A and B are shown apart, each in its own frame.
Chain A
Amino acid sequence: MALPRFLFISGLSMLILYGMSVMVSTAAYRGLRLDQQLDTGSRASDLLFGSLGASAVVYNRRPLIRNGPQVILIGSSNFQHYSAKAIASEMPGISTSNMAVEGSNFADFELVVNLAYEVLPPSDKHTFVLGLWYGDFFAGNGVGHKALDSELTRYAMYQKVEDDRAILKIPRSTLPVAAATLRPLIIMQRAWETITTVSTSVVDDILGQSHPPATDFAALDQAASPDAEQQRELVERRSADGTRVSDDVLAKLMPIAKRISDAGDRLVLVDLPLPRWHAEAVPASIDYSRRKHAYFAPALRLPGIYYLDMEGSATDEDFYDSVHLRPKACIELAHRLARTLAGLRGPSETAKLPLKPGPSHN
């Protein structure tokens, strides 16, 4: 009997340890109020799910499972700090989530929309807000795409198939339980990523390479805007990415718009601001400005699809680099965006081009 008893105790101790880890991780999850709001730009989300946002988008969709209309922000890193909390404060009774993933592009937005629809209650009317800039429309996969891919398939919850689609491999109703069960592994993964990041910095130091310091919200608000020399370098770097945005990626707008419109929900396409020295100098930005309306127009004829132009709603000093607004400016623009969204008409009406952002409180 000694051997079966030994094996039983070994197996049982593993299970008990895992059960305890689930309890501890759930307590941490609740303590950080991650069950209340999905906001990939928040510190709490950063702490438990990582700053890219891909892990939160896949494993923290529980806040979307609630009755009532919702606003869901989708975009890349320059939309991540449009605080969900700030938007919710301007729209009482409407819950808000930010599902922006750093390094993702427009092709990934469709995947994120689908992930949201997997858990959103179908009975209510929701508003999807896509934060756009020309960088979202380049062909090729960025770090966000790779991170989403890896998170979706890591624990076999999804299978990636042709056309870059992700097929859910477990019953939809079990998603929240599966995500809760995986929390210890997600935290362990986060801890491991912390080690990897720090180790990379250490290795960079050992190898004599410089590495950018990690920065926090407070530091970004105080950081200097790029000077003329830095602007020139940044423009050169951005120009090297390509001179034209991809027609194939632009064409992906229509399926997203159709899916949302068919569901009776609303889609707001928001052109996010860029510094003037960037927007006016990079060929791909000029190309995007010239051609976007040709692609947007058919989508905007569908019921419930809107376009909001926020270009020019920030000054060059509001940016700490070539694309990203300071966190304070993001929150200010999030309030203005929320006031505009609150004034939108119902999904049965078609938008007029363009909407004006709400007034500033400054």
Chain B
Amino acid sequence: MNLTSLLFLPFAFVAVLLLRLAPSGGLRRATIFGLNAVFLLSMVKAPLQLVPLVGFVLLGYGAILVAGSARSSLSLGTLVTGLVAIFIWLKRYPIVSAVPTFSFAFTVVGLSYILFRILHVLIDVAQGSLRRPSFVAYLNYVFFFLNLLSGPIQRYEDFAPQAEMTPPPLDWENVNTSCKRVVLGYLMVIVIGNATFNFVEMAKPLFFDALGQGKMFFGIYLFALLTFAYLVNLFVNFAGYMNIVIGIGGLAGIVLPENFDHPFISESFLDLWSRWHITLSNWFKSYLFNPLLRMLSARWGTKHSTPYLGAIALYVTFFVMAVWHGTTWIFVIYGLFLGSGAAVNRLWQILIPKVFGRNNYKVFSGLRWYFQLSRAATISYLAVALTSFWIDWEQARKLARPSGLAILFGSLVLMTVVGAVLGHLWDIAAPYVRDFLGWGHLPPVNQPTTLPVRSSVLRTIAIPILALTLASATVAAVALFATRSLEGHSLPYGLVTLALFTVTVAVTCVAAGVLDPPISRYLSSLAPQRQADAAALWLGVRGFIVLSLAAVLSSAPAFIYQAF
């Protein structure tokens, strides 16, 4: 069962209900255990396919038992190495392709995240910073259905109390906030994810044609579009998933950690990794970067060398983190990109202040154009690095030729310059857009506000709605008339198409929460009970739109057939 399948929604509904009905203790543990089992079994055709995965998790618990009693660095190192080796074998990395595997088909779904969770418990138990969990608590943590497929990587000490104790009572504000996250998540994955995926699929063959024909400038242009579209696709899918699981967790009374924090405003490559896949970055920081830096410092550390050792530790950490993302050799290239990005960023932070002086560096980095260029370069670099995700080895070899490298570098420059200019223009236009759409001077979205309403309902809601409609109609008109989509068609046909296009764009924006700030402002002016009622109504509107879109864009799940 995929998180975005229509089947997951009724499962999640039942899960929330059961977790709310089983408030604490053994019943809650048993409920989580049962839900995890059902979720895992839904991933396979026969239970036998789960045997290697379950076996790995059992081995993990055995390792925790040994580490808890031995408490030595040697035994811990051996256990970690053993588990990582089995992980590599189960995932069929190319270096173990000659080693025989099981004779039956098996699944390794969620194995990467399971490994992180097991290693975290193993290391912390061995170091005495965590008490050994009970077997059921361990299984519930490792297999927790909301974290299983794509994270976030929650720490055991955060998860365990929530899996044992009565969650705080649910009020309408919590439900509102959580449901809105689920709605936004589905919209990101199903609508925007599909659109960007289609773009990538269309542009990919064209790019390799351009590369083969030596069309340098067209190649640069296409590669820039392609890499950026892939980055957006990855972000909306991943962040959308997170919104869904965090929202459902909130309803069930299990708070999951955030995994994204506005990554597109990152000022540097290192800043990016505190905003993108945050729980993974934190894991690597705790279990690879910090121990590695301690080890390097203990051996070679001096006042002058320690910053450079940090750059080395960053390189290694990011290289390993990148290689973990896939099982093919191409992810080594991704590792080189990420490792270099992190190390160069760190060296820049060390060397530039030394060369130009700390004060000059402060002034320099405070300049607007420096900020814009650095933000655009960070995102462009990540977009280019992610190329490893959508090309195969043969295509990578083509890209590694001089013409391919020129295209790659040219695209990086193009994206950086265009990104900086667009970023600058957005910063200028943003206050006006915010004002027009009623986003200005607001508390965080989804939070009830106590700010006084200074304007009438008309100004608070009607003007943003009008602005959104006008903006959608403009987008639709430009799209229809800039292309030849309506050529040869009658005027009524054109008008109906324009209306359909406008309504769809506007409705999608409404579902994405574009009108939420003015609506929140309006709600704050109402009496508490009417505020709750109006918020419920608005949630119903957004839910209706996203459920309809999900029904239209997805195919019917198999369980419906079985129901008849």
A residues near B, CB below 8 A? 2-3, 5-14, 17-18, 43, 47, 150, 153-156, 159, 169-170, 184-185, 188-192, 194-209, 211, 213-216, 218-219
Contacts and interface: CB of A to CB of B under 8 A. Distances in A.
B202 A207 contact: yes
A191 B479 CA distance: 14
A198 B480 CA distance: 7
B555 interface: yes
Nearest to B207: A207
Contact of B493 (A7, A13, A199, A216): A216
B93 interface: no
B549 A188 contact: yes
Nearest to A196: B198
Contact of B487 (A12, A188, A196, A214): A214
B51 interface: no
Contact of B175 (A6, A191, A195, A215): A6
Interface in B506-564: 529, 532-533, 535-537, 539-541, 543-544, 547-549, 551-553, 555-557, 560-561, 564
A5 B531 CA distance: 12
Contacts of B537: 9-10, 13
Contacts of B552: 154, 185, 188-189, 192
Contacts of B179: 10
A155 B539 CA distance: 24
B461 to A, nearest CB: 16
Contacts of A3: 170-172, 175
Nearest to A11: B540
A128 B403 CA distance: 61
Contacts of A153: 555-556
A6 B548 contact: no
B176 A6 contact: yes
Given A14-B544, A17-B544, A196-B198, 19 more contacts: A2-B171, A3-B171, A6-B175, A8-B536, A9-B537, A10-B540, A12-B540, A14-B547, A43-B493, A47-B493, A169-B560, A170-B564, A189-B552, A192-B553, A194-B500, A201-B484, A202-B483, A205-B482, A216-B489
Contacts of A154: 552, 555-556
B488 A213 contact: yes
A199 B194 CA distance: 13
Given A18-B544, A185-B548, A198 B175 contact: no
Contacts of B480: 198
A196 B480 CA distance: 12
Nearest to B210: A208
B23 to A, nearest CB: 15
A188 B548 contact: yes
Nearest to B559: A156
Given A6-B175, A185-B548, A185-B552, A17 B541 contact: yes
B351 to A, nearest CB: 40
B540 A9 contact: yes
Contacts of B483: 198, 201-202, 204-205, 211
A250 to B, nearest CB: 32
Interface in B460-514: 479-480, 482-490, 493, 496-497, 500-501, 503-505
B481 to A, nearest CB: 10
A2 B482 contact: no
B532 A214 contact: no
B232 to A, nearest CB: 14
B203 interface: yes
Interface in B97-143: none
A13 B544 contact: yes
Contact of B551 (A159, A169, A185, A213): A185
14 contacts: A2-B529, A10-B179, A10-B536, A12-B540, A13-B536, A14-B540, A17-B541, A153-B556, A154-B556, A185-B551, A194-B500, A201-B483, A207-B225, A215-B488
B536 A191 contact: no
B536 to A, nearest CB: 4
Max chain B Cβ within 10 angstroms of own Cβ: one of A190, A207, A215: A207
B222 interface: yes
A206 B486 CA distance: 18
A191 B500 contact: yes
Contact of A207 (B203, B488, B544): B203
B361 interface: no
